[in-house]
Structure 1
Amino acid sequence: MRKGILIILLVQQVTYAQVRPWVTDAAPLHRAQKALTEVIIHDIFSPPVASRIYAYANIAAYEVIAAGDPKHYRSLAGQIKHMPAMPKPEKDKEIDFQFASLLSFCFVGNAVTFPEGSMFTYVDELKKKVKDAGMPSEVFENSVAYSDTVAKSIMKWSKKDHYAATRSASKYNVVRKDGRWIPTPPMYGQALEPHWGEIRPMALDSASQIPAPEPPAYNMTDKNGVFYKNVMYVKGKVDSLTADQTHMADFWDDNAFKLNVIGHAQFATKKFGPAGHWMNITGIGSKMAKADFNTTVAAYTKASIALFDAFINCWYVKYKANSVRPETVINKLIDPNWKPHIQTPPFPEYISGHAVISAAAAETLTDSFGDNKPYT
């Protein structure tokens, strides 16, 4: 009788350890990403800050997976030069690394956003799901404990990236001089994250590691000059948008906070920014490839690190070049009533944020899922 009970218990343990009945694909991870994106949208985190949130949360998830499957995934500690070694799981404790990965993601996502507890609803749903699926209490507790240890290590590391210092850094000083950026209508917002180039990158050695060509010199008197031609090209293109071009522009309109003005009425529209858009595209790529949980964690992590570093490099160039927006030039010298199709965000023109971060994210998705993949 005792032998029979022992065999049953062993079969139950093997079944749980090998099958993981509570998760069969990456759906819980996609749900976690969506939950974090909803927090970012609701609290209007700027695009650069959003990239930081995604990066640390996804690295936390990845480090748990790497600890559970070291044959296929290598810790980022050392690959990211300033990242310290992460805690190792205790060998005699069974851990559900996918469950722990999600918890670590949520712990960090909650810690780097506000209000406190914003991710807890999803965490409660997740915990209920695994318990309903029959996860043994010991495995549950071990997984929670390990996820907590990794998340705290990630948070400790994150606090040295100079982000806190930029929260109290001096505001951008607007200089009204031809060719230099000034706030644009209708919001005339303050310069967005002028010190973001001071944030510590991950894959890059520094914000200035990848230089950009100098922008064309401001000159609106030379009609054969590059600057004048560029301004007129922008105006002409906006004034003659086709239906397809309008649709494409609207698809990539990732202005996280848009001020709508109708007569005397004003109201804001909130949505995800470029980082959230590319996190969503990463999810689409994963689903199309039918990628498993661990592969998807790695894909999200690579994309988020690329986005984070791309924003740092791009913002360094933007505030160094300090280029005026076409809208400003056109309103002043050509047509005071002209408006772009997409509301101009509050930071310098050059270099294009969307171009830089999209190229970086797309390269990681090609590495994860292959090239020439459609998405909508």
Structure 2
Amino acid sequence: MSTSFAKPQETNWPKIYKEEFFHITEVMVTDVASPPVAARIYAYTNLAAYLVIKSQGAEFQNKDLLEHSYLSSHDWEIRSEKVQSPEFAAVLAFLKVGKAIMPSGYLLEEKQSEWIQKAIKAKIISKKTLQAHIDLATEVAVKVMDVAKKDGYLQLSTLTRYTPQKGEGFWYPTPPAYIAAVEPEWKTIKPFYIQNLEDYKPAPMAPFDMKEGSSFHTQLMEVYNTTNELNEERKLIANFWDCNPFKVEFSGHMAIGVKKISPGGHWIGITGIAAQKANLSFTETAYVHALVGLTLHDAFISCWKAKYDTDRIRPETVINQKFDQRWRPLLQTPPFPEYTSGHSVISRASAVVLTGYFGDNFDFIDSSETYFGLPERPFPSFLYASEEAAISRLYGGIHFRDAIEEGIKQGEKIGTMIWSNLNQ
């Protein structure tokens, strides 16, 4: 994507934020960042932009995002001087955090240089004031990374490796690549707003039971029959919300990764679309992006705890083992346990905070997936989009209904808690 500038007073900041931030998503796709890892990156990068704007004395429509979060106890005093364009410094800050936090973050060095040249050319900043902006962005980025280094992520590699449990009903690696379980200890990562993960524990799932008429068997057959009778609209819905960065295609003996956005990336994209449609100021654009980023982070931690606490088998494994060895779901099954549905949890949590911010029935055209070859899709509201994202997992053949429905409830509870805290 290329960013185009008008004169400073006419600058379309929501559009520029969206386009410049997409460079971070591109690097995540290159790194094949797992969904929870991607959410963590979205949280810290957008937090950097928010903190730059906050440090420059901006006033936001809603409460400070640091309030009611563990971030409130951190030292966020910024010593850098006031700058000509806080907006420019904020974009530079999220690019700097992106460079520091991602394995292939070095790819953003070029984007930082391009951003500086574009801003000088458009007279957003002057060469004389450039260093002051760089100093501010660097100071904030360093502070954000100091917090990121203490959230438990660096300790994940030292924890006991996950081993699939023996016995019926437990998760096992799925075709075609049989990838090992992804981020089994993600529940140890520090959330921003959730104080006790047990408060967001979903209702018990249907126990593994292959007797005809049992809840589990009924749901299993629903997955099997639904995927065998998909119409074109349901196929489109499933593919639109696929968001599986681990998708693999085989050519002979060669495995080829298919580039896809993560679920969190899809909702960050929607956030940018909404900010642009509402013609938000840069201040509010940074706020709502940080809000969604922090929400995604907490929602994934809660969901991943449920996944590995329950360690539930995927529909594909049961169907292949019990009655149809050749059956494959429409979507490739992601490499982690089934309950609850990640897209259901994070889509609902994101939709709740976006609805709180933009209001009910905020219609939009979702073009988040056009970069990945999928068409635009219109939605009458964020909540409607989250419902479609959730049911897409049934159409895709990768989730049982209770994982979807309980995932929606889990996400609703998380989103409501976060938005309520900001509006007490």
Q: TM-score, normalised by structure 2?
A: 0.80
Aligned to 2:310: 321
Indicate the residue corresponding to 2:189 in structure 1. 199
2: distance between equivalents of 1:246 and 1:332? 25
Match of 1:40 in 2: 28
Q: Provide the secondary structure at the position in 1 that maps to 2:197.
A: coil
What are the superposed Cα offsets for residues 314-334 of structure 1, whole Å, 9 maximum, x if unpaired? 000000011111111111111
| Letter in structure 1 aligned against 2:337 | P
| Superposed displacement of residue 268, structure 1 | 2.0
For the 8 Å contact 2:244–2:334, the answer to whether it is kept is: yes
Counterpart-to-counterpart distance in 1, 2:122 and 2:79: 23
Match 1:155 to one of 129, 137, 145: 145
- In the TM superposition, structure 1's runs of 4+ consecutive aligned residues that sit over 4 Å from their partners are 19-22, 262-265
Q: Against the structure 1 CA distance between its residues 194 and 133, is the aligned structure 2 distance closer, same or farther, given a 3 Å change threshold?
A: same
Percent identical pairs in the alignment equals 34
Distance 2:192 2:349 in 1: 13
Unaligned runs of 5+ residues in structure 2 are: 1-6, 366-376, 378-424
* Cα contact 1:41–1:272 (8 A) shared by 2: yes
SS in structure 1 at match of 2:107: coil
For residues 107 and 264 of structure 1, what CA distance do their matches in structure 2 show?
A: 39
Paired with 2:52 and 2:60, the residues of 1 have a C-alpha distance of: 13
Q: 1:62 aligns with which of 36, 44, 50?
A: 50
Identify the residue that residue 208 of structure 2 maps to in structure 1: 218
After superposing the two structures, state which structure 1 stretch, 181-190 or 258-267, moved more: 258-267
> Are 2:27 and 1:27 equivalent residues in the alignment?
no
Displacement, 1:90? 5.3
Matches within 5 A, 1:137-152: 137-152=127-142
Closer, same or farther: CA 248–30 of 1 in aligned 2, 3 Å: same
In structure 2, the residue matched to 1:115 is: 104
Distance 1:266 1:124 in 2: 35
Specify the structure having the higher radius of gyration (Cα).
1
Give distance in 2, aligned partners of 1:166 and 1:137: 43
TM-score (norm 1): 0.90
Moved more, 365-374 or 297-306: 365-374
Please state whether the residue corresponding to 1:368 is helix, strand or coil: helix
State whether residues 56 and 154 of structure 1, in contact with CA within 8 Å, keep that contact through their aligned partners in structure 2: yes
Counterpart AA for 1:284: I
Alignment coverage as a number of residue pairs:
356
Residue matched to 1:228: 217
Q: Are residues 1:309 and 2:289 paired?
A: no
Residues 308-356 of structure 1 deviation map (CA, whole Å, 9 limit, x = unaligned) = 1010000000000111111111111111111111000111111111100
Assess, with a 3 A threshold, how the Cα gap between structure 1 residues 94 and 259 changes in structure 2: closer, same or farther: closer
Cα distance in 2 for residues equivalent to 1:227 and 1:137: 65
Q: CA deviation at 1:180?
A: 0.7
| RMSD value, Cα | 1.9
Q: Which moved more, 1:162-171 or 1:211-220?
A: 162-171
Q: Secondary structure at the match of 1:260?
A: strand
**2:94 matched residue in structure 1:** 105
> Is 2:195 the partner of 1:178?
no
